[in-house]
Amino acid sequence: GAGVSQSPSNKVTEKGKDVELRCDPISGHTALYWYRQSLGQGLEFLIYFQGNSAPDKSGLPSDRFSAERTGGSVSTLTIQRTQQEDSAVYLCASSLAHLLETQYFGPGTRLLVL
């Protein structure tokens, strides 16, 4: 079946602009995660959704970052007033609620802030 999809695959923006990144999880996966992968920092957890609620937002680096999930499916990560340090690959993963240890990752969105 279809895996996790993300769009856009690449995004170039100017400092100070807002960006929206989209994630479509595997159908039936109620758990959804956002991670960020940057050079020198590795992969870092951002936020976790179970259904439409986010019990763990502890990884969001600042209040410029927000995320929502609607219909227990698609999720959007929004970065407001982008900064150059936001440049990274943003990865989304999904899993079944009872198999959180088995997460399937999407291909990521490569964000470059100029």
Partner 1 sequence: QKEVEQDPGPLSVPEGAIVSLNCTYSNSAFQYFMWYRQYSRKGPELLMYTYSSGNKEDGRFTAQVDKSSKYISLFIRDSQPSDSATYLCAMSASMSTSYGKLTFGQGTILTVHP
Residues near partner 1, by CB under 8 A? 4, 31, 33, 35, 42-45, 48, 50, 55-56, 58-59, 91, 93, 95, 100-108
Q: CA angle, corner 88, sides to 75 and 15, nearest 5? A: 95
Distance of CA 94 to the CA centre of its chain: 10
Name the amino acid, one letter, at 73. Answer: S
> What is the closest distance, in whole angstroms, from the C-beta atom of residue 57 to partner 1 in the complex?
11
- In the complex with partner 1, the residue whose CB is nearer, 44 or 66, is 44
Residue 6 and residue 9: Cα distance in Å, rounded? 7
> What is the closest distance, in whole angstroms, from the C-beta atom of residue 6 to partner 1 in the complex?
8
